[in-house]
Amino acid sequence: MRRVLVTGADGFVGRVVCAKLLEAGYAPVAGVRSDDGWRRLRVAVPGLDEVKVLGDVSTIPDAAGAWRDIDAVVHLAARVHVMRDLASDPLKEFRSTNVGGTRNVALTAAKQGVRRMIFISTAKVNGELTTGKPFGENDAADPQDAYAVSKWEAEEMLRRVAAETAMEVVIIRPPLVYGPGVRANFLRLLKLADHALFIPIPNTQNRRSLVGVDNLSDLIVQCVCRHEAANQTYMVSDGEDVSTRELVSRLAVALGHEVRFIPIPASLTRIAARLIHREKEASRLLDSLCIDSAKARGSLQWIPPVTLAEGLQATALWYRERCTSTGG
């Protein structure tokens, strides 16, 4: 039974990764930052035997033997992307956790004889939008914000660690991740689809790639042991791209009703967004960002276990149950 340390195990993706590792017969060691994370995880993932409080990954210690007999590390702990960052120097903050923290994890793992590290990066490393051709693993990096820059720098650092040590590194670049328990932008989309009758989204016919948390976690588990994955980079998605309008419409249907769209010009939306300093939000609403996951599907024979329709339905069900239990 292989022991796999998962950092950020109490997060949105981490909980699902731990559960899938258990299902696959692994012995996950759940790394969390605090005792609160430990308590949440015990409830969220029944059957999880080992939870280790690692503290801040920027200064990660051995943490009471958390690294003992570990075969692989799935590194999820990160400073995540936020739309309106209030830090005085966002890049410095992102680098501290996403580069410095990742370096600490990688060097500690290599020193302890860990065979493989799986690092969850982001499709934003490739850029913010696509025009015609989807992003692939061999495309030049073009990170546009502090979060993406920090993830790209972490990737480059990990490749150097892999070249200088016996530890293999696998890098996975997901687009927007959704599923039960999702927060931030996707949760706002759910609320919009649930409450708004008329939605002012221009019909740009853009295309966006998504990945369900179950599909992302399934690929992560595949990469723990497959020898073909050693020192590889993979893009990952559900394999079905949708427009923003289509996504909102399908979420509304999954929630049990329909929405109508107000046909406003895209140019007007962009002008309004510029006036209130929300150009990036408008870009995510109107532009395309597609990725090609053919490499994972080919070399690993990986097939996403959950379709986009199934993933959206499961997310809508979670959202509805959440609203019922919280009263809104």
- Nearest CA to 136 out of 118, 123, 117, 147 is that of 123
- State both tokens at 250: 């399908």
- 147 given a catalytic annotation: yes
Whether the Cβ atoms of residue 182 and residue 316 lie closer than 8 Å to each other? no
Query: Which residue shows structure tokens 């580069």?
Result: 99
Region of 282 on the Ramachandran plot (φ > 0 left; ψ -120 to 50 alpha; else beta) = alpha
Catalytic residue among 26, 147, 234, 319: 147
Tell me the HSE value of 9 on the side-chain side, using a 13 A CA sphere.
Answer: 37
Amino acid identity at 281:
E
What does the alpha-carbon distance between residue 283 and residue 270 come to, in Å, rounded to a whole number? 8
What is the C-alpha separation between 141 and 156, in angstroms, rounded? 11
Structure-derived torsion over alpha carbons of residues 183, 184, 186, 189, reported in degrees to the nearest 10: 120
- Active-site annotation, residues: 147
